[in-house]
Amino acid sequence: MKDIEIAQKVTPAPITEIAAKAGLSADEIDQYGSAKAKVKLPLPRKSTKRKLILVTSINPTPAGEGKSTVTIGLGDALTKIGKSTMIALREPSLGPVMGMKGGATGGGYSQVIPMEDINLHFTGDMHALTAANNTLAALIDNHIQQGNELGIDQRRIQWKRTLDINDRALRRIVIGLGGPTSGVPREDGFDITVASELMAILCLSENISDLKTRINRIVIGYTHDRQPVTVADLKVGGAITLLLKDALRPNLVQTLAHTPAMVHGGPFANIAHGCNSVLATQAGLNLADYTVTEAGFGADLGGEKFMDINVPAVGQAPDAVVIVATIRALKMHGGVALADLGTENVAALQQGAANLGHHIHAMQQYGVPVVVAINEFTADTEQEIQAVKDYCANLGVEAVLADVWGQGGAGATDLAKVVVKLADQPSEFKPLYAASDSIEAKVNAVVTKIYGGANVEYSGKAKRQLRSFVKYGWDNLPVCMAKTQYSLSDNPKLLGAPTGFTIKVREFVPKLGAGFIVALTGNVLTMPGLPKHPAALDMDITADGKISGLF
Amino acid sequence: MKDIEIAQKVTPAPITEIAAKAGLSADEIDQYGSAKAKVKLPLPRKSTKRKLILVTSINPTPAGEGKSTVTIGLGDALTKIGKSTMIALREPSLGPVMGMKGGATGGGYSQVIPMEDINLHFTGDMHALTAANNTLAALIDNHIQQGNELGIDQRRIQWKRTLDINDRALRRIVIGLGGPTSGVPREDGFDITVASELMAILCLSENISDLKTRINRIVIGYTHDRQPVTVADLKVGGAITLLLKDALRPNLVQTLAHTPAMVHGGPFANIAHGCNSVLATQAGLNLADYTVTEAGFGADLGGEKFMDINVPAVGQAPDAVVIVATIRALKMHGGVALADLGTENVAALQQGAANLGHHIHAMQQYGVPVVVAINEFTADTEQEIQAVKDYCANLGVEAVLADVWGQGGAGATDLAKVVVKLADQPSEFKPLYAASDSIEAKVNAVVTKIYGGANVEYSGKAKRQLRSFVKYGWDNLPVCMAKTQYSLSDNPKLLGAPTGFTIKVREFVPKLGAGFIVALTGNVLTMPGLPKHPAALDMDITADGKISGLF
């Protein structure tokens, strides 16, 4: 049965009931239809236990890891064993939904619903971000058109336009053609909306004031004498904040088993920090005893960024970390081809487990307890499962089998019990680096301690930028690494647990509003394209509203 | 006091109460927060009286006519004299809100609320249209990129991208640069979202099936051998319809006096038909005894299109037409400069009244009763008001003074009584032309009977297009004139009631999904620009959510 068919068999409980389960009165939410709501700010604070569980994973492979599915299933399992629980997830981007994926709300019996709405326009957050992003872009070009009082160098504008669409034809464009009444010609390009700095800002902001302060700090470009120009200089921080006033409020939905879930924010895990909003996580902490959240891609990307960028904003570190792995994916890390994953191969599995081992070690450095979730697939053999358990036991870590796709929460109660045990024991979070460290020291810490690399190499441009950042006073910010998700190194083909490699930083992108410095390694695509057969071709809606093709 | 200050003094009634007033149960709506809702489809049918009032106006001038304000004030006045009433209005576009206007929800004591939400993202209809429009655009360019099976001529793609933003730098652009992985280079451009054919389609569709049928009919471009390519050919009609499933449902809000109002759809009155959605109007007819709606610009543009394009889709003609005029605007039509409008000038007024007289005559040709609403301004003198009343009396039409800005519904009860009297008497609608007439005959009918022009001249391109339309079988569609709103002629400087002029049609644009053929006269701007001091610069939101700068 397809995910959408499973989802359509469950009638969502009225969102007021889900809110009540989470301890929210009808006055504390704004309904968006019968099964979605936004939580009003400031967030009420009702729980004192406030345990935070971070779900991350090994380096993703084409075999699939099912991190969101495990996050949702674990949330349902915690509820099932009697714990007050909230799930916090990123919201899907429409571009990939129409392209490859057809949906991003979990799978099987571990889904958040109404999946059709969440995968399409949801409560309009992405669209508000697109509108805010492009209003700012139009105001920048209009400033230049109307006399350019600030002296903005049109060749050095950093602020790009965005759409929540996979549209490769907009990656590189020329705008302002058609004569003097139609703007000043210049090179430009569109990113996908989730790659906008505004998305990162929305996800890191505590409240409207913080949102406005961050927006005003955005560097939109440079003057002809290389001075940064900010949104504050343009005097439009108020208008851009106004456009995001509702998008800032976390969205409440439910799982198939009616566990409350906050689905809010979704910054690109490539060039931003890849975690749901701080306010969604805080809503969970404030309302439930256990909050389960996930971070984008593997523990080297989303996991690291959660610890070094998100934790200071949330104001709390995870009490336990779940690393998701599948037998299939570990076999790929051990050198098995996609077509051969159905065949038992314990030797390859043991070799590929080094990738998992590396991530366990990386997360343990932060001083938080770790458990491995083996996301069960039907072809997994007993020997293979035992091999992973043994491998983890050797590292002093439990590995627990979970069948969240097939059974929902019932398939993850063992995992839930281990998570509760770990989260309830005292732990002490140790950050990877100090804010006062230099940018180079921060990059070096991530590369050597988290990726297992040997060296960092900087391009001439990156070196020049580092000098200018010191001058501008931007060197106290954390770094946000942009690296391939497929390997611990910057070479996507290097699977398993490579060592001795060098990471090349070709450029930095200062994101002053988000409050981090992006370090670009390799090619980072900020506007995806559509495949030869986009998912959109198979989507339909009948006269009476029945939807198909969202997987 | 500013409009936003007046609006912020009124607490909206819970939208469930407004729905109940309109005869809708809580199950028949989906709430979007506490003061907005979408009405579920199919629409319930509860009223049998079903009287429809169309509000239109003289040719607009920089002096301002206040048509929306009169529409809202009249709705409140009808409620005040005890009539079951619904207002149906277009929803504002964010582009102009951020640019010149700062808001489009009426004024003074005749406003719809929550004005901040309606003027910003509202229930997401505009954003859904932007997303649907641009998803289609990305699918077209992707089709070409992936082999171009349909043989689309990239130089003849008609489907443009859109944003709900005034962004002149996107009017003419080059896309697909950056090498073979980033698309096929071609000229392109962005329109404002309200100019998208999808907006016109949304506003003319009866239900999901009709919406999908219309979307599939859209001509997105032509093949190398000049055959039209449709959305159906691309096989993405289902996905695009799916993206508009919620946007199709009319939005329910309220006036300051708590009269129910449907605010839904807003096609560009320049190159589309400029009326709120058919479903919003039908919701009014189904639920209330009197439905007051408005059409964009003057009676020559929005009024004519309401009669010839909207009436067949609504399935009902207006029972009365209100033509809004102001003393100030009529003096401008009589040759008075903007700076001198504060001075009494009965002679100029009498001369300018010819513009009003012309529109009265044009509307009467449709066989519907007409009343003139004089929208009162403080500088109007008794002599001037009497002069307009006398002018109209000579034409056998009543002119009624209405102070809707200053008094809301209480300022328009006299107007409401005349409207009820006219609407309750029998009338017989006569269409201007038959569907079977040729396109030339239809254009000719509009130009001679509605504009008062003498001739129509077609460019060589327009003539060639007319021949191809006959070949494609498109000549049975109505025409949708794109003409300046400032004059009855195609010269915006020709005020009053010019005669003997020729209208030049330079090009036709077939809108097969909307179901009309656009005739372009003069220059039609489909992407506005921002002014030197955009309204956005004055907008703000405080830490506790108080909004300013939306006028």
Backbone angles phi, psi at B511, to 5 degrees: -115, 80
Candidate from B32, B38, B239 with C-beta closest to A536: B239
Backbone angles phi, psi at B389, to 5 degrees: -60, -45
Distance between CA atoms of B178 and A391, rounded to whole angstroms? 47
- The letter for the amino acid at B84 is S
Kind and range of the H or E run holding B370? strand B370-375
User: Percentage of residues in chain A with pLDDT exceeding 90?
Assistant: 95
pTM: 0.97
Neighbours of A395 (CB within 10 A): 16
Q: Which residue of B has its CA nearest to A537?
A: B236
Is A266 in contact with A93 (CB distance < 8 Å)? Answer: yes
| CB-CB under 8 Å, A530 with B142 | yes
Neighbours of B390 (CB within 10 A): 12
Q: Does A163 touch chain B (CB under 8 A)?
A: yes
Kind and range of the H or E run holding B516? strand B516-520
Question: Could you read off the pLDDT of B432-452 as tens digits, one per residue?
Answer: 999 999 999 999 999 999 999
In this prediction, residue A126 carries a pLDDT of 98
Query: Which residues 344-373 on chain A approach chain B with CB closer than 8 angstroms?
Result: none
The angle, 0 to 180 degrees and rounded to 10, between the axes of the packed helices B208-217 and B197-204 is 150
Residues of A in contact with B167 (CB under 8 A): 134, 137-138, 141
B508 included as an active-site residue: no
Question: Could you read off the pLDDT of A388-404 as tens digits, one per residue?
Answer: 999 999 999 999 999 99
Angle (nearest 5°) at CA B471 between B467 and B474: 90
| CB-CB under 8 Å, A239 with B540 | yes
| CB-CB under 8 Å, B547 with A242 | yes
Question: Could you read off the pLDDT of A12-41 as tens digits, one per residue?
Answer: 999 999 999 999 999 999 999 999 999 999
Q: How many CA atoms lie within 13 A of B63 on its CB side?
A: 28
| CB-CB under 8 Å, A177 with B177 | no
B434-to-B367, B431, B441 alpha-carbon distances in Å: 16, 7, 9
Candidate from A147, A173, A540 with C-beta closest to B173: A173
Residue with tokens 């009265």: B360
Candidate from B120, B170, B543 with C-beta closest to A207: B543
Tell me which of A34, A39, A149, A177 to substitute to probe the interface with B (most B C-beta atoms closer than 10 Å): A177
Question: Annotated binding site for ATP: which residue ranges of A?
Answer: 61-68
Residues of A in contact with B100 (CB under 8 A): none
The mean pLDDT value of chain A amounts to 96
Residues of B in contact with A136 (CB under 8 A): none
B301-to-B172, B291, B305, B373, B451 alpha-carbon distances in Å: 27, 21, 6, 18, 9
Nearest residue to A333 via CA among A489, A446, A501, A448: A489
Cβ pairs A/B, distance under 8 A: 227
Nearest residue to B243 via CA among B252, B231, B233, B255: B231
| CB-CB under 8 Å, B165 with A94 | no
Question: Annotated binding site for ATP: which residue ranges of B?
Answer: 61-68
Residues of B in contact with A528 (CB under 8 A): none
Residues of B in contact with A94 (CB under 8 A): 131, 135
Pairing of strands B29-31, B37-39: antiparallel
The angle, 0 to 180 degrees and rounded to 10, between the axes of the packed helices A413-424 and A67-80 is 80
Regions of chain A where pLDDT drops below 50: none
Is B495 in contact with B134 (CB distance < 8 Å)? Answer: no
| CB-CB under 8 Å, A547 with B165 | no
CA A529 to chain centre: 19
The angle, 0 to 180 degrees and rounded to 10, between the axes of the packed helices A346-364 and A382-394 is 30
Q: What is the DSSP letter of A176?
A: S
The angle, 0 to 180 degrees and rounded to 10, between the axes of the packed helices A197-204 and A125-145 is 130
B521 included as an active-site residue: no
Backbone angles phi, psi at A198, to 5 degrees: -60, -35
Is B300 in contact with B83 (CB distance < 8 Å)? Answer: no
| pLDDT, tens digit only, all 551 positions of chain B | 889 999 999 999 999 999 999 999 999 999 999 999 999 999 999 999 999 999 999 999 987 789 999 999 999 999 999 999 999 999 999 999 999 865 679 999 999 999 999 999 999 999 999 999 999 999 999 999 999 999 999 999 999 999 999 999 999 999 999 999 999 999 999 999 999 999 999 999 999 999 999 999 999 999 999 999 999 999 999 999 999 999 999 999 999 999 999 999 999 887 899 999 999 999 999 999 999 999 989 999 999 999 999 999 999 999 999 999 999 999 999 999 999 999 999 999 999 999 999 999 999 999 999 999 999 999 999 999 999 999 999 999 999 999 999 999 999 999 999 999 999 999 999 999 999 999 999 999 999 999 999 999 999 999 999 999 999 999 999 999 999 999 999 999 999 999 999 999 999 999 999 999 999 998 888 999 999 999 999 999 999 999 999 87
Nearest residue to A356 via CA among A332, A379, A320, A337: A332
Query: Which residues 109-128 on chain A approach chain B with CB closer than 8 angstroms?
Result: 120-121, 124, 127-128
Q: Which two tokens stand for residue A354?
A: 């080094």
Sort residue A255 into left (φ over 0), alpha (ψ -120 to 50) or beta: beta
Candidate from B139, B181, B543 with C-beta closest to A209: B543
Pairing of strands B260-263, B251-255: antiparallel
Pairing of strands A251-255, A110-113: antiparallel
Distance between CA atoms of B460 and B447, rounded to whole angstroms? 19
Distance between CA atoms of A210 and A164, rounded to whole angstroms? 25
Cα Dmax for chain A: 72
> Helices marked H in B432-540 — which ranges?
439-445, 460-472
Residue with tokens 């391009």: A459
Counted residue by residue, chain B has a size of 551
Counted residue by residue, chain A has a size of 551
Domains of chain A: 3-124+247-423 (3.40.50.300), 125-242 (3.30.1510.10), 439-521 (3.10.410.10)
Which residues make Cβ contacts (< 8 Å) with residue A539, sequence separation at least 6? A98, A102, A547, A548, A549, A550, B238, B239, B242
Neighbours of A107 (CB within 10 A): 22
Q: What is the 3-state secondary structure (H, E, C) of A450-510?
A: HHCCCEEEECHHHHHHHHHHHHHCCCCCCEEEECCCCCCCCCCCCCCCCCCCEEEECEEEE
Distance between CA atoms of A430 and A428, rounded to whole angstroms? 6
- The letter for the amino acid at A47 is S
Q: Which two tokens stand for residue B234?
A: 């691309």
List active site positions of A: 67, 69, 90, 101, 269, 297, 377, 405
Query: Which residues 191-230 on chain B approach chain A with CB closer than 8 angstroms?
Result: 207-209, 212
Backbone angles phi, psi at A519, to 5 degrees: -110, 115
| CB-CB under 8 Å, A184 with B145 | no
Question: Could you read off the pLDDT of A156-213 as tens digits, one per residue?
Answer: 999 999 999 999 999 999 999 999 999 999 999 999 999 999 999 999 999 999 999 9
Q: What is the DSSP letter of A527?
A: S
Is B95 in contact with B166 (CB distance < 8 Å)? Answer: yes
In this prediction, residue B379 carries a pLDDT of 93
Q: Does B378 touch chain A (CB under 8 A)?
A: no
Distance between CA atoms of B507 and B509, rounded to whole angstroms? 7
Nearest residue to B191 via CA among B213, B211, B167: B167
Distance between CA atoms of B121 and B108, rounded to whole angstroms? 22
Q: Does A549 touch chain B (CB under 8 A)?
A: yes
In this prediction, residue B1 carries a pLDDT of 85
Distance between CA atoms of B240 and B72, rounded to whole angstroms? 33
- Bridge partner residues of A480 (DSSP): A518
**ipTM reported for the complex, 2 dp:** 0.97
B108-to-A271, B54, B76, B113 alpha-carbon distances in Å: 47, 21, 13, 12
Q: Does B180 touch chain A (CB under 8 A)?
A: no
Candidate from B139, B208, B541 with C-beta closest to A534: B139
Is A201 in contact with A274 (CB distance < 8 Å)? Answer: no
A551-to-A87, A115, A121, A411 alpha-carbon distances in Å: 22, 10, 16, 22
- The letter for the amino acid at B503 is I
Distance between CA atoms of B416 and B404, rounded to whole angstroms? 12
In this prediction, residue A10 carries a pLDDT of 96
| CB-CB under 8 Å, B165 with A539 | no
What is the b/e burial string over B158-196, where b = at least 16 CB atoms within 10 angstroms of the residue's CB?
Answer: bbbbbbbbbbbbbbbbbbbbbeeebbebbebbbbbbbbb
Neighbours of A546 (CB within 10 A): 10
| CB-CB under 8 Å, A241 with B142 | no
Backbone angles phi, psi at A87, to 5 degrees: -105, 140
In this prediction, residue B103 carries a pLDDT of 67
| CB-CB under 8 Å, A241 with B541 | yes
Q: Does A410 touch chain B (CB under 8 A)?
A: no
Q: How many CA atoms lie within 13 A of B50 on its CB side?
A: 13
